[in-house]
Amino acid sequence: MVTLVGDGIENPANATALTEAAGMFAVPCRFRDSRDLSSQLPGLSTVDTDGLLTTPIVAVDNAPGAESVYNVRRIHSGASIVVGNERRGIRPDLLRAAAHTVQIPMPGRGVNTLNVATAAAVALYYLSGATGRRPARRSQRPDVLLAAPRDHVEAGSSLRSAAAFGWSAVAVEDRDKVWFGTPRPLRAESRAAARSHRNPLRVMPSEGPDPVYSRIVVCSPTSDGPPVHRTDLTGAGTLIVIPDEGWEPPPSRTVEWARVDVPGAPGRYRLVTGIVLAEVARQLGDSAKARPPRRGLSYGSELDLTAPDGGELLDPWELEQY
Ligand SMILES: C[S@@+](CC[C@H](N)C(=O)[O-])C[C@H]1O[C@@H](n2cnc3c(N)ncnc32)[C@H](O)[C@@H]1O
């Protein structure tokens, strides 16, 4: 069994989400607590540097020269899979000691990191299994619908992942009104930071899967379909739906189901969306590299970019807060 380790995590909410990421894979989660997280989260399971260095270290970080997580096969039982601080990443002593350093390729042109707990879930998915994966092939990037997210931070983290994995537009069915119409204090600051000139993400309000799609694939940890890594998630006219708990497809639509195949608990929304979006990007291979959006439509997307006001444009700076 491997152990997930958070190195210098400073946000207690991220620490809780990391513990849940470990729970999805039924592995323990510990923290090298250099940021006094324990004072805010009593009972936190910690590990010191000497203890960590007795285990093989797999550093998960977008460090120069890191291997793609999709290419590393099963790793040693007993290994510590380490993720790093929200701003500074993994400390250099652990990066130096690592037997492997792996990165999750980020084809997006605006956002180049994931939320730390999302990165942990994606890394655990590929490092601990996902056997019998479909080979990557040149194909068209599918559209994505985030269906009924129940929490705005989970929705925001999922949108961050979508931008980092190379989407330039994403649809959100926001029946609980967690995203559109919710005051978000970061927005004013975000506008000020828009001078970063990095590519924004367009977020389109949606009423649910549109009849325009020829294929709708619903990806969920609770589905009894085939694993997402063995299901074709790409191609023209394809819509990938990632539902939060409680969403059902409209009875009038024929859908395929695919399973986010984890041995433990289903896990919170950002972890599920991260795994699904990573798998689509993996299947797209080189073609997942972001291309400049065409005027009007991007990637031949069916998303209705002509909707009243064209949805909401999110600056990468705002997304990186999630
Ligand atoms: C937000 S990132 C840290 C930011 C990073 N130092 C930077 O700005 O480039 C926090 C942690 O999430 C994990 N992480 C996020 N995106 C990743 C990616 N694309 N590949 C591997 N790890 C990633 C790493 O463990 C990283 O230390």
**Which tens digits make up the pLDDT trace of 234-246?**
999 999 999 999 9
81-105 pLDDT, tens digit per residue, is: 999 999 999 999 999 999 999 999 9
Distance CA 188, CA 172 (A): 22
Q: Give residue 288's pLDDT band: very low, low, confident or very high (50, 70, 90).
A: low
Kindly tell me if the per-residue pLDDT of 263 is higher than 80: yes
Residues contacting residue 300 through CB under 8 Å, at least 6 positions apart = 140, 236
CA of 4 from ligand 1 middle (Å) equals 15
Are 105 and 68 within 8 A, CB to CB?
Answer: yes
Bridge-based pairing state of the strands 312-314 and 29-32:
unpaired
Query: For all residues of the chain together, what is the average pLDDT?
Result: 89
* CB-based pocket (< 6 A), ligand 1: 60-62, 83-84, 86, 88-90, 103-104, 106, 113-114, 116, 119
Which residue ranges form the domains of the chain, and what is each CATH number?
3-103 (3.40.1280.10), 143-319 (3.40.1280.10)
Q: Ligand 1, residues 32, 60, 72: which to mutate, most atoms within 8 A of Cβ?
A: 60
Q: Which residue has a Cα nearest atom 23 of ligand 1?
A: 61
Tokens 């798998």 belong to which residue?
Answer: 279
Distance CA 205, CA 221 (A): 24
